[in-house]
C-alpha cells in the first residue's frame, strides 16, 4: 500500500519535529540534567567535607571544657600568681632535689623580664645525680601547682680527669627553667 502524498508530508513533518525535538529540546535538557547531576555530586562532596569538619568540633568542645576545668580561675591564681614568690618556689625546688638525691645543687635566679600579660623569671639549676633521680625530679616539676617551664636541659656524663666515665654513674645536669607571675615590677625585690 502506497502512502499518499499528504500522508508523506505529514510523516515528513512528524519526522522533522521528532528530529528537532531530539536535536534541540532533548539535548538541552540532557545537558541541563548532566549539569544538575554534576552540581549534585559537588554539593555531596562539600557536605561530606563540611560534615568531617563539623565532626571535629564536638571533640574540640570536650577538650575546651576539660581545659577550663583543669585551668579554672582558682588554679590560675596558684599556677600564675600575682607575686614572684621566689623563696617558696626555691624551697620547693631544693626540697625536691634533696628528696631525689640530686647532689651538688646550685640554684641561680636570673633577672625577671616583663611582657604585657605576665612576667618571667629565669632560673638556672645545676646538680649531679643518676638518670632515674633526674626523671623523678622532672616529674615533680611537672606536678607542681606553679606554672614552670623547662627551657633548656643539658645532661653530661660525669668524667674523671682521664676522660673516663665515672664509676658512680653520676650525671652533670644543668637546667634552665622559667617561672611566671603577673605583678608588674617597680624595682628590685
User: What is the tens place of the pLDDT at every residue in 3-21?
Assistant: 688 888 888 888 888 888 7
Q: How far apart are CA 126 and CA 176, in angstroms?
A: 9
Question: Does residue 66 form part of some domain?
Answer: yes
pLDDT at 72 over 70: no
| Residue 166 binned pLDDT confidence (cut-offs 50, 70, 90) | low
Q: What is the pLDDT of residue 160?
A: 54
Say if CB 173 and CB 127 are below 8 A apart.
yes
Q: Is 127 found in the same domain as 44? A: no
Task: State residue 62's pLDDT score.
Answer: 84
Count how many residues are written for the chain.
189
More confident residue, 1 or 99: 99
For 95-122, b/e burial (b = at least 16 CB within 10 A) is: ebbeebebeeeebeeeebeeeeeebbbb
DSSP code string of 16-50:
HHHHHIIIIIIHHHHHHHHHHHHHHHHHHHHHHHH
pLDDT over 80 at 68, yes or no: no
177 and 85 assigned to the same domain: yes
- Cβ distance 137 to 112 under 8 Å? no
Residue 137 CB burial class (10 angstroms; 0-12, 13-18, ≥19): buried
Same domain, 58 and 105: no
Half-sphere exposure of 153 (CA within 13 A, CB side): 9
* pTM reported for the whole predicted model: 0.54
Higher per-residue confidence, 66 vs 43: 43
Averaged pLDDT for residues 124-131: 94
Tell me the C-alpha distance between 119 and 83, whole Å: 10
Q: Where are any strands of DSSP class E within 9-168?
A: 103-109, 113-114, 119-129, 148-157
* Residue 189: predicted pLDDT: 43
What digits encode the pLDDT tens for the residues 23-53?
Answer: 777 777 888 888 888 999 999 999 988 888 8
Pair (135, 161) in one structural domain: yes
> What pLDDT, on the 0 to 100 scale, is given for residue 79?
65
119 occurs within a structural domain: yes
**What is the structure's pLDDT at 2?**
63
| pLDDT exceeds 90 at position 75 | no
DSSP 173-189: EEEEEEEEE-PPPSS--
In total, how many domains does the chain have?
A: 2
Least confident of 45-49, 53-57, 180-184: 180-184
What pLDDT, in 10s, does the model give residues 90-107?
899 999 999 999 999 999
Q: What percentage of the chain carries pLDDT values higher than 90?
A: 35
Given 44, 70, 96, the domain boundary residue is 70
Domain extent, residue 28, equals: 1-70
Place of cell 564536638: 58
Q: Enter the C-alpha cell of residue 143.
A: 606536678
Amino acid at each position: 500500500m502506497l502512502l499518499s502524498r499528504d500522508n508523506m508530508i505529514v510523516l515528513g513533518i512528524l519526522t522533522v519535529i521528532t528530529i528537532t525535538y531530539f536535536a534541540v529540546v532533548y539535548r538541552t535538557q540532557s545537558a541541563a540534567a548532566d549539569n544538575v547531576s554534576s552540581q549534585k555530586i559537588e554539593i555531596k562532596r562539600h557536605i561530606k567535607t563540611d560534615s568531617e569538619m563539623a565532626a571535629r568540633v564536638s571533640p574540640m568542645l570536650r577538650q575546651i571544657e576539660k581545659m577550663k576545668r583543669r585551668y579554672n580561675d582558682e588554679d590560675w591564681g596558684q599556677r600564675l600568681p600575682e607575686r614572684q614568690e621566689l623563696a617558696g618556689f626555691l624551697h620547693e625546688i631544693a626540697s625536691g632535689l634533696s628528696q631525689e638525691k640530686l647532689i651538688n645543687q646550685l640554684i641561680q635566679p636570673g633577672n625577671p623580664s616583663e611582657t604585657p600579660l605576665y612576667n618571667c623569671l629565669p632560673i638556672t639549676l645545676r646538680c649531679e645525680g643518676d638518670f632515674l633521680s633526674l626523671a623523678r625530679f622532672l616529674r615533680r616539676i611537672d606536678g607542681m601547682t606553679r606554672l614552670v617551664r623547662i627551657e633548656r636541659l643539658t645532661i653530661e656524663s660525669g668524667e674523671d680527669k682521664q676522660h673516663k666515665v665515672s664509676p658512680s654513674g653520676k650525671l652533670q645536669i644543668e637546667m634552665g627553667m622559667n617561672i611566671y607571675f603577673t605583678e608588674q615590677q617597680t624595682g628590685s625585690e
